[in-house]
């Protein structure tokens, strides 16, 4: 039974058996509670349990932009097949407070399970009778067995394993790994707490559990990784030598990972006082010859824009990762959006070549950041990789990243003295030979318009030559390195979806329900593949543009580049990502109209 059939079931009567609602095909687990009680870590642990039990997972978190308090929730989509997005419905809900019941009860479907603690004042009278209830004294177990109320998420996970027929040993193994650097008694208390939760459910709800679907053994060994971790791993694999990053959601996870790995992989991570310092330090490191990167969100990138243009006119390689969130100003600091596309294309005054890429999922993020380092070195210009909170902070089960064929390219980097060296030499491809201090080459790097040697020069002819030389890089890149956008689904379709970024996962999951829909996924934003996009869209019977922003920024860019104006848009700008169910509904309405 697919999730799209299941979501339309009304909550009346009882399910035929518990295997209809527990682990298996497109199952959604959700845990919610007050911030500060390990909601997110519990969710990630559940993701790893499901993964080690032979299932594909995708998880998604929601939390407010406050340090403590507020409602946190983590959900994990589990499937027998690769899953690329989060679901709108909930099959099993772990409620650690009343808000979790009140906020998420409408997501429950016929036969869903709810695990709660009535002794903690949680009331479930508002839930339909078709919901299976597991009343477990989580707080009491946490205090009496674990010694602290903060361990109630551990008790809840143990109880969940029993309710879903999961493996307590896998949970214990993960606890051991998580607390490997702690004292042995910390691990022992957590083991005892999860086991007490498990035993309570197994004993009290023995009859209710007799038909639950047992977890399968491993069918494929995969890892569970977040987008932030994938980006950090990709940078390291690409030969990262210097990173300067000021923390800002949703990219802070990248700097946490980099900081922990710098000694192991011999690169420098520096946390500066602000984003202005971050980009200028990265430019300086790149000028000295290091593979260099900086990272921020939209608000931090605003501060970086002066350095953005400096790297452009000085032709200094630089990788920038920009993690989008709800804007403008502080906006929605812990929520997702895709509102920065036009901003990064036009940030800083005037014209200079910038390469802009947008990752659609975690695997793409890993490979694109590796690609970005080579592009930055080859074309001696800033390369900006757009991601968003949905990619950065979600986890996905995936094969180990394969980069054995990746070769580091430093472009026209000189390592020896060259006679009559000119840093900004006019070339047919727009790329001049690049030298770094210490090679013996005399050169000047100048943020003013400059001559081929690098000295300031305001003559009209020189300005035209240097501007056109720099901008030729994009034409060279377009010819030699730019990939075509990928078309998923049949070549001929009744509806063509066009989109970019993290919408990719929900769109692909939704397309499983149709055989007459295809999807054009755009990764290269600048230079833009207008010929290929035009070729696909001119053949389309109907076009639907899907974006997480108010003004359909990609749709506008397509119109500007190809002359094709897309009239039908599905837009979202409430900080939440698209769910595959709502895309299915939109497609059905569109095709039936």
Query: Nearest to residue 72, comparing CAs of 455, 334, 439, 402?
Result: 334
Of 221 and 296, more confident: 296
**Rounded to whole angstroms, how far apart are CA atoms 215 and 165?**
6
Can you point out the beta strands (E) in 375-516? 382-388, 395-398, 486-488, 495-500
Alpha helices in 288-430 (DSSP H): 298-314, 341-346, 362-379, 389-393
Sign of CA dihedral 41, 260, 174, 250: positive
Task: Look up tokens 């755009």; give the residue.
Answer: 522
pLDDT bucket at 216, cuts 50 / 70 / 90: low
Task: Look up tokens 């939109």; give the residue.
Answer: 586
pLDDT tens digits for range 421-445: 999 999 999 999 999 999 999 999 9
Q: Which of 65-74, 116-125, 414-423 shows the lowest per-residue confidence on average (mean pLDDT)? A: 65-74
Query: Nearest to residue 336, comparing CAs of 79, 98, 85?
Result: 85
Sign of CA dihedral 411, 417, 420, 422: positive
Q: Do domains 227-398 and 486-592 have the same CATH topology?
A: yes
pLDDT tens digits for range 511-552: 999 999 999 999 999 999 999 999 999 999 999 999 999 999
**Rounded to whole angstroms, how far apart are CA atoms 417 and 562?**
46
Contact (Cβ atoms closer than 8 angstroms) between residue 348 and residue 447: no
Contact (Cβ atoms closer than 8 angstroms) between residue 376 and residue 350: no
pLDDT bucket at 209, cuts 50 / 70 / 90: low
Strands laid side by side in the 395-398 sheet: 132-135, 108-116, 90-95, 27-34, 71-79, 56-62, 395-398, 223-226
pLDDT tens digits for range 159-199: 999 999 889 999 999 999 999 999 999 999 999 999 999 99
Burial of 98 (0-12, 13-18, 19+ CB in 10 A): middle
Q: What is the pLDDT of residue 3?
A: 23
Residues of the chain with pLDDT > 70, as a percent, come to 94
Model pTM above 0.75: yes
**Rounded to whole angstroms, how far apart are CA atoms 285 and 269?**
11
What is the CATH architecture assignment of 227-398?
Answer: 3-Layer(aba) Sandwich (3.40)
Q: What is the pLDDT of residue 81?
A: 86
Strands laid side by side in the 495-500 sheet: 486-488, 517-522, 495-500, 543-547, 569-571
Estimate the share of the chain in helix, then strand, then coil, as percent rounded to the nearest 5.
40, 20, 40
Q: What is the pLDDT of residue 207?
A: 75
Query: How would you classify residue 36: left for phi > 0, otherwise alpha for psi between -120 and 50, otherwise beta?
Result: left
Q: Residue 160 CB: number of other CB atoms within 10 A? A: 26
Q: Where are the domains of the chain?
A: 3-221, 227-398, 412-481, 486-592
Length of the chain in residues, anyone?
A: 593
Strands laid side by side in the 524-526 sheet: 268-270, 242-245, 292-297, 318-324, 382-388, 355-358, 524-526
148: Cα within 13 Å, side-chain hemisphere: 9
With a CB cutoff of 8 Å and minimum separation 6, the contacts of 560 are none
Q: What is the mean pLDDT of the chain?
A: 92
DSSP conformational letter for 215: P
Q: What is the pLDDT of residue 571?
A: 98
**Rounded to whole angstroms, how far apart are CA atoms 410 and 423?**
16
Contact (Cβ atoms closer than 8 angstroms) between residue 85 and residue 390: no
Check whether 53 has a pLDDT greater than 80. Answer: yes
What is the CATH architecture assignment of 486-592?
Answer: 3-Layer(aba) Sandwich (3.40)
The CATH code of domain 3-221 reads 3.40.920.10
């Amino acid at each position: 039974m697919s999730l799209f059939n299941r979501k339309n079931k009304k909550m009346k009567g009882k399910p035929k058996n518990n295997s209809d609602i527990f682990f298996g095909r497109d199952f959604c687990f959700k845990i919610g509670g007050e911030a500060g009680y390990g909601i997110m870590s519990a969710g990630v642990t559940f993701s790893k349990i499901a993964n080690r039990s032979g299932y594909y997972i995708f998880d998604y978190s929601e939390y407010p932009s406050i340090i403590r308090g507020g409602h946190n929730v983590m959900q994990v989509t589990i499937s027998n097949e690769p899953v690329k997005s989060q679901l709108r419905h909930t099959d099993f809900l772990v409620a650690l407070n009343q808000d979790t019941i009140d906020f998420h009860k409408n997501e429950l479907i016929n036969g869903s399970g709810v695990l709660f603690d009535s002794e903690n004042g949680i009331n479930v009278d508002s839930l339909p009778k078709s919901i299976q209830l597991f009343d477990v004294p989580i707080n009491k177990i946490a205090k009496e067995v674990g010694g602290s109320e903060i361990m109630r998420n551990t008790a809840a996970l143990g109880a969940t394993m029993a309710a879903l027929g999961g493996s307590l040993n896998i949970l214990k193994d993960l606890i051991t790994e998580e607390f490997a650097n702690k004292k042995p008694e910390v691990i022992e208390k957590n083991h005892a707490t999860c086991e007490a939760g498990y035993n309570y459910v197994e004993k009290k709800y023995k009859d209710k559990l007799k038909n639950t679907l047992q977890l399968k053994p491993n069918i494929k060994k995969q890892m569970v990784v977040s987008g932030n971790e994938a980006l950090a791993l990709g940078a390291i694999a690409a030969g990262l030598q210097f990173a300067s990053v000021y923390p800002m959601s949703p990219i802070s996870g990248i700097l946490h990972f980099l900081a922990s790995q710098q000694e192991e992989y011999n690169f420098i991570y520096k946390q500066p006082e602000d984003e202005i310092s971050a980009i200028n330090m990265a430019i300086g490191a790149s000028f000295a010859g290091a593979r260099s990167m900086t990272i921020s969100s939209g608000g931090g990138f605003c501060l970086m824009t002066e350095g953005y243009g400096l790297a452009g006119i000085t032709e200094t390689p630089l990788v920038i990762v920009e993690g989008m969130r709800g804007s403008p100003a502080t906006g929605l600091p812990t929520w997702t959006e895709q509102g920065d596309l036009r901003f990064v294309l036009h940030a800083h005054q005037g014209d200079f070549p910038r390469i802009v890429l947008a990752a659609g999922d975690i695997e793409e993020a890993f490979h694109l950041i590796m690609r970005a380092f080579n592009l930055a070195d080859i074309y001696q210009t800033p390369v900006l990789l757009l991601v968003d909170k949905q990619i950065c902070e979600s986890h996905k089960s995936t094969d180990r990243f394969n980069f054995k064929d990746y070769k580091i390219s430093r472009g026209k980097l000189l390592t020896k003295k060259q006679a009559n060296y000119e840093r900004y030499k006019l070339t047919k491809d727009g790329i001049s030979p690049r030298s770094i201090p210490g090679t013996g080459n005399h050169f000047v790097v100048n943020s003013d318009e400059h001559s081929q040697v690098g000295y300031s020069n305001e003559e009209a002819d020189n300005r035209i030559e240097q501007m056109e030389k720099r901008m030729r890089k994009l034409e060279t890149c377009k010819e030699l390195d730019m990939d075509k956008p990928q078309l998923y689904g049949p070549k001929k379709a009744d509806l063509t979806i066009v989109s970019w970024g993290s919408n990719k996962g929900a769109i692909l999951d939704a397309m499983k329900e149709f055989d007459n829909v295809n999807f054009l996924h755009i990764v290269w934003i600048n230079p833009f593949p207008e010929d290929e996009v035009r070729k696909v869209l001119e053949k389309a019977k109907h076009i639907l543009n899907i974006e997480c922003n108010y003004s359909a920024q990609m749709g506008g860019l397509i119109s500007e580049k190809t002359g094709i104006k897309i009239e039908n848009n599905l837009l979202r700008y409430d900080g939440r990502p698209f769910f595959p169910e709502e895309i299915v509904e939109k497609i059905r309405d569109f095709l039936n109209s």
